[in-house]
Amino acid sequence: MPEPPADRSYEDLLERLAHVRPRIADRLRRAHQLSTRRLRLMLDGVRLHGLEEWLGRLERVIDAWDAEPRLASLAPLIRRALGDYEGAIEAALSGYPAIAFDAMRDIVEIEHLLLDFYIEPARVEDWLQADRQERLNRYGPRQVRSRVLESKLHEIAGGYDPKTDYAAHSEALHVTPPRPGLPFEERGLVENDHLWVLDVPFWEMYEHARRLGNAVLRL
Same-domain pairing of 27 and 91: no
Q: Are residues 62 and 28 in the same domain?
A: no
Give the Cα separation of 140 and 145 in Å (integer).
8
What whole-number distance in Å separates Cα of residue 24 and Cα of residue 17? Answer: 8
The residue among 124, 115, 207 whose CA lies nearest residue 152 is 115
Note whether 86 and 51 are within 8 A (CB).
no
Total domains in the chain come to 2
> Which stretches of the chain score pLDDT less than 70?
1-7, 154-185, 195-196
106 and 4 share a domain? no
Domain boundaries, position 38:
1-44
d(CA 60, CA 64): 6
Query: Per-residue pLDDT tens for 74-126?
Result: 999 999 999 999 999 999 999 998 899 999 999 999 999 999 999 999 999 99
Are 8 and 69 in the same domain?
Answer: no
Are residues 162 and 60 located together in one domain of the fold?
yes
Give the global pTM. 0.86
Statement to judge: residues 161 and 140 lie in one domain = yes
18-46 burial, b at 16+ Cβ within 10 Å, e below that, comes to eeeeeeebeebbebeebbeebeeebeeee
Residue 58 and residue 36 share a domain: no
